[in-house]
Structure 1
Amino acid sequence: MVYLSMVLFQVVAPILIMLVIGAILQLKFRFNLKALSNLITYCLMPAAVFINIYETQVNAKVLSSIIVYLLIFSICLMMISWLFSKLLKLNRSQAAIFNNSIVLINSGNYGIPVSQMLFVANPLGTSIQVIIVIFQNIITYTYGLYNLISSTKSGLDILRSLLRLPIVHALIIGAIMNFWNIGLPITFRIPIEYLANAFISIALITLGAQLAQIELKTIFNKVIFTSTVGRLIIGPTLALGLILLMGFDGVVAQSLFIASAFPTSRNSSTLALEYDVEANLAAQIVLFSTIMSCITVTIVIYISTILWG
């Protein structure tokens, strides 16, 4: 119980405080959230991704195992979300939002800050989270987009959207420089580290600002409730089974398990708004799952330390 309290007050509570600060600032000053989102996507997150990949050694065998795990985990979530959408008898647009809400995870401006706080003494944990972020972006701009606009957007257009993401370029460059042991001049390293260090605070404040604009209209809506249970409870339960089955241990197991418990990705709401598909429902799911994740993520972190700490 003492450690559970420590996790709550030293990891989850600081994140919650940053979200509240972002929400308050947004209500008072009405930030341009599109500009802040672009700052994170095209500047701060790529810097954080590059530094983490550049500075960390990930065994090729472990990396391949992680990718296999992520594929199996995502496919299982897709099947579970499809089954629940049928049981709930959702129409096509509602089903698309529901499926995305369970499969698409907020691994970026929620997951990376959590990992950086948890694994400050072991960068491998954060590097694994970076890999998950890249994987989740691929899922978002393939499966997620297909759910929403399969009739209007070609596979080639989806691929172009993915390749335009700076984090993909940062990952590739960081991996190449890491593999070939290419030195990074101090003139470039210092500003990149400044940007990477700014990522946590700006990302969390922006997420809080985004959540402040969402109206929570129907708390007991069956779609919102089932989606939250699927994302925050069924997801980690599935992940735990796969982790034990595949024999992961230590920091790798901890990082994968904790990453499975993060709330619904804000991208699911952003895409729904952009393509006018049940945008209100998508936004409410993001808000409700983020609020509830303060409890569930704390519990998952606690369990992970018992099993692999």
Structure 2
Amino acid sequence: MNIILSSVLPVALIIAMGYVGNKTLKLDQSTLSQISVYILAPALVADSFYRTTISNDAALRLLLAYVLTTGIIYGGVVIISKLLKLSADDDKGLLAISLCPNNGNMGLSIIAFSLGNEGLERAVIYMIFSSVVLFGMLPAMLKGDSLMTSLKVTFKLPLIWSMVIGIILHFTKITLPFNLGKSLEWLGISAIPIALIILGMQLSKTKFEFGVGEFTATIGRLAIAPIIAYSVGRLVGLDGLDLQVLTLQTAMPTAVNAVIMIKEFGGNTTMVARTIIISTLMSFATLPLIIWLMTSPLV
């Protein structure tokens, strides 16, 4: 119980502070978001790769498990869409909901509190894989652009280049002089609470309304997706911390970026926005259960 409370309550508190802060102080979310995207998140990625202790084999297995999990979820969405004869907008909305777990703002935070620094290293690697799908492949799926066009967008992301820098520093064993490594570490640490504050601010501006469609999509995001991830992880030989991170990151609620993608490339914006809210709120019930299951001696 302690590990569950210690993982979820700090995250909920910081999100609540962002919620209340935006209601009372009218904070500038765009500035905070830019600081997070262009400074803090890249620093966290670079620092995590710089200091990572995960083996190349474990990283490749995690990548394989993520790709297979994402492929299965995508295939499931296509089948459900055809069976239910969803409209084009609803189909795109369901796709964004299913393929965009909040493995940044919430995922990194939950895993940092529940699984420590070693878990966080793996969670950052998962986030990078997810970012490639989100910014490199999802636009092509939603708009019909070529994969090459979407990948060009991906390679403009600071997260990708910070990953490259972190990998170079890691493999060359370069020690940053004048305590610059500490600066990188501090910026990375700051990324997590700022991201949660931004999430709280976003929640404060969205009405809490949902229907059967949003509730069903939420169940898929919070319950079915992690079951798929766990099964795939076991299939490719993941265990221990690697399997826990894969499952937990896949169990996160829908990310705010999903509605940004839908607004930009088309789809049911209302359904996605409502699902973000309900999945985020419901995740505070489902994530403790998953953490308990994944940290149980029986798993």
Displacement of 1:278 in angstroms is 2.3
Q: 1:140 matched to which residue of 2? A: 134
Equivalent AA in structure 2 for residue 204 of structure 1? L
Q: 2:105 matched to which residue of 1? A: 109
Gaps of 5+ in 2: none
Equivalent position SS for 1:216: coil
Q: What TM-score does the superposition give when structure 2 sets the normalisation length?
A: 0.94
Equivalent position SS for 1:186: coil
- Is 1:32 the equivalent of 2:28? yes
Q: 1:69 matched to which residue of 2? A: 65
Query: 2 CA distance for matches of 1:25 and 1:148?
Result: 34
Q: 2:47 matched to which residue of 1? A: 51
Q: 5 Å matches for 1:153-164?
A: 153-164=145-156
Q: 2:202 matched to which residue of 1? A: 210
- Is 1:181 the equivalent of 2:177? no
Equivalent position SS for 1:105: coil
Q: 2:119 matched to which residue of 1? A: 125
Gaps of 5+ in 1: none
Displacement of 1:191 in angstroms is 2.2
Displacement of 1:128 in angstroms is 1.1
Equivalent position SS for 1:107: coil
Q: 2:56 matched to which residue of 1? A: 60
- Is 1:281 the equivalent of 2:271? yes
Contact kept, 8 Å, 1:236 with 1:257, in 2: the verdict is yes
Contact kept, 8 Å, 1:22 with 1:205, in 2: the verdict is yes
Displacement of 1:276 in angstroms is 5.2
Contact kept, 8 Å, 2:142 with 2:266, in 1: the verdict is no
User: What is the count of residue pairs matched by the alignment?
Assistant: 299
Equivalent AA in structure 2 for residue 13 of structure 1? L
Contact kept, 8 Å, 1:253 with 1:308, in 2: the verdict is no
Q: Percent identity?
A: 26
Calculate the aligned-residue CA RMSD, in Å: 1.7
Contact kept, 8 Å, 2:254 with 2:275, in 1: the verdict is yes
Displacement of 1:268 in angstroms is 0.5
Equivalent position SS for 1:58: coil
Equivalent AA in structure 2 for residue 245 of structure 1? L
Q: What TM-score does the superposition give when structure 1 sets the normalisation length?
A: 0.91
